Chain A
Amino acid sequence: MTALSIASAPTTQTEAPANIGLLRFITAGSVDDGKSTLIGRLLYDSKSLHADQVSAIEQSSLKRGLSEVDLSLLTDGLQAEREQGITIDVAYRYFSTPKRKFIIGDAPGHEQYTRNMVTAASTAELAVILVDARKGLATQTRRHSYLAHLLGVKHIVLAINKMDSVDWQQDIYRQIVSDYQEFAEALGLSNIVAIPMSALKGDNVVDASTAMPWYQGPTLLDYLQTVSTLADVSNKALRLPVQRVVRVMLGNAANQVIGDDEEFRGYQGTLAEGSLQCGDTVMVLPAWRSSQVRSLKLAGKSVKKAVAGSAVVVELEDEIDISRGDIIVGNDQPPKVTRELDADICWLAEQPLNPKAKYLIKHTTRTVKGLFGELHYKINVNTLEQHPQPEAVHMNDIVRVQIKLQQALFVDTYAENKVTGSFIVIDESSLATVAAGVIV
């Protein structure tokens, strides 16, 4: 009954959020699966909604002649979408409980929105995949699971929804779970939790269900609040892509240092992986020069040590020619230095891939020109079949490709490191982001 007490005690938020973590998750499913209702229920029952938001959806529901408040109206963002009654873009929602702050990436479920799911999944640590209990595993369940896997989402909640429509039958839940296990294992997904629920009635979303005594597991919110997303970082290789070079010269008022009167040359960037401390020996690529960390600054202060995720300024003992796009790494386990990428890309633009055109590849803080080489195969996101040598690449296609680069990039596989294993593709003329890729 943890969920209940949390939901009814939002006032404790005052003390709690100071030290809680952040969980980014996505919800995947279609309007028909009750996805918007589920998010609405999560926000409503966790007391994350304000009175004016509730009154707005009450009014909208009335206007539409509905007898009950339609919680799904909460997440229908834009006018164009409200008119069409569907969600056409990724929307981000925020709520917090005394234990955690949550960011929901709300991705639409239809097949033509693969790119939105991919976008939302890129930053997610967990995916809630909705299944309609009446229908069992659907084509889109497979699609969503595959995409979550492709984007390296570590935790899956299989939300078996609409249990009220199947008389809360345990057999139906069991069958869906067993079907999914078989499929997920073949795909290589792990960390799956299946929760039977009814978003419409509110069962097992925030409050535990009384209609399904056979289910002893956590409610959705219970699980979201407690799931640990910490990876084992003890053995991770250092990766610090250089974002900006800071040079402050003595007596140059234009570049004046704050609270420091020395000459300073440092490198700003966010630690993608590994930790760094003063005195550490590091290697700078592409110069292949080694040096030691003289000083470390973090959020405006000097520190001795910083770990993954920190936005730091590093000063080195030796003068090395370093620019934006270079990378500071550890002495062992260097990344691969390559002018050729093998990657799975998702094409995001309406304009299809032009095999003759050069594109810009933005990888960490480095942007280089690239040309698509061989198109190995296209993946049917519904059947997971591979179709070799596709003739064209259209929006929402997932394709295994080779990319030739004008200059070298310093890469890891996406499985090893999400930051140094991912890139976006930018069209040189429209400057739009046309594709996203994960390095294999």
Chain B
Amino acid sequence: MNSLKKSVWQDDDASAADVDPHANALHSHLDVLEAEAIFILREVAAECRNPVLLYSGGKDSAVVLHLAYKAFYPERIRLPLLHIDTGHNYPEVIDYRDRMAEHYQCNLQVRSLEDSIARGTIRLRHPLESRNPYQSVTLLESIEELSADACIGGARRDEEKARAKERVFSVRDEFGQWDPKNQRPELWSLYNARVIPGGNLRVFPISNWTELDVWQYIQRENIELPSIYFAHQRDVVRRGEVLVPVTELTPPQAGDQVETVTCRFRTVGDITCTAPVESPAATIVDIIHETATARVTERGATRLDDRASEAAMEQRKKEGYF
């Protein structure tokens, strides 16, 4: 997409009312990233029979949903939203998820890990174990049930080492496995969306966005987010550098000292593995400032599941995680 660098909205002879509000954002990197993501979303819709959009209510999927609205406009978003619900979500996020699905008039499909547990396809070692690693099982079952040939997700390459080599159109076999040595080369904006029967695609329209880009775009587009992304008071227990939120699922242990801190979430996921960070950032502007000067990566600060080993994410992706 070399020509994308010339992406500018010219306003020289358009009347003010008709001009895109970002008309002055000449060569803005957000315009380039937005156009790239819209192109990708349209390619999926045009080439895949039955794509679904993975939607968790997190900020990245909020951005992808907003981009989908823009990509298909004036048609409404016709592809279903799929949420793999671990059952361990913050209520604010679930409430937000449902409101957004209604706002965009989307068909929201929720598939629950509880159902996989009932089916016996997920066997937890103990009831309060982090459920994130098991999402892959329910996701693969849902893909089969919905006959989805493509799942659109909000993963970004800057999140993690293993994701730096992920393709925009990532081929998975029938076990949902990602084989880093057997990925298709991707050249220009010529995406190969064909898969052999049984296989499917994971498509990542915001692959090239960073955490800062996401926040800047949320600001520019005025995208609503769940309230827990912004500073609030919360009871936590300090475990090393990590703040563990006090919830029914993560109760304080004997001897734990519970304190109330002003914090926010940088990523939102399963309660048992997503930790807040201490932060007074109450607005998007505050968050952008904080993100631009942050000393710790998004996942490094808040994801308890990627820390296990240097290759933790790579391993989980190979097992079907997105």
**A positions within 8 Å CB-CB of B:** 10-11, 13-14, 17-24, 50-53, 56, 60, 77-80, 82, 88-94, 96, 100-101, 103, 115-116, 118-119, 122-123, 125, 152, 229-231, 233, 243-244, 246, 248, 254-260, 264, 266, 268-273, 275, 277, 297-311, 313, 324, 348, 360, 362-363, 365, 417-419, 422-424, 426, 430-433, 436
Contacts and interface: CB of A to CB of B under 8 A. Distances in A.
B311 A257 contact: no
A305 B194 contact: no
A433 B184 contact: yes
Contacts of B10: 275, 305-307
Nearest to A418: B2
Which 7 A-B pairs rank lowest in CB-CB distance, beginning with the nearest? A309-B7, A52-B300, A304-B14, A13-B292, A311-B38, A122-B187, A21-B27
Contact of A424 (B161, B192, B195): B192
B183 A89 contact: yes
B281 to A, nearest CB: 12
Q: Which of B8, B29, B210, B297 has the most CB of A within 10 A?
A: B29
Contacts of A426: 192, 194
A86 to B, nearest CB: 13
B246 interface: no
Interface stretch (B70-78, B80-88, B256-264): B70-78
B216 A18 contact: yes
B188 A122 contact: yes
Contacts of A271: 3
Interface of B: 1-15, 18-21, 25-35, 38-39, 42-43, 45-46, 69-76, 78, 105, 157-158, 161-162, 164-165, 180-181, 183-190, 192, 194-196, 207-208, 210, 212-213, 216, 288-289, 292-297, 300-301, 310-311, 314
Contacts of B46: 243-244, 324, 365
Contacts of B34: 299, 311
Nearest to B27: A21
Given A243-B42, A303-B19, A80 B9 contact: no
B296 A303 contact: no
A295 B33 CA distance: 24
Given A17-B29, A256-B76, A300-B73, A92 B196 contact: no
B187 A424 contact: yes
A51 B162 CA distance: 19
A101 B29 CA distance: 7
A94 B165 contact: no
A302 B18 contact: yes
Nearest to B104: A258
A22 B5 contact: yes
Nearest to B213: A101
Q: Which of B20, B33, B190 has the most CB of A within 10 A?
A: B190
A433 B168 CA distance: 14
B203 to A, nearest CB: 15
Q: Which of A13, A90, A310, A324 has the most CB of B within 10 A?
A: A310
Given A268-B42, A270-B35, A303-B14, 6 more contacts: A17-B212, A17-B216, A119-B186, A309-B31, A365-B46, A433-B187
Given A304-B19, A305-B10, A431-B194, A92 B208 contact: yes
A88 B180 CA distance: 10
Contacts of B39: 243, 270, 311
A131 B192 CA distance: 35
Contacts of A363: 190
Nearest to A13: B292
Given A50-B297, A92-B208, A298 B9 contact: yes
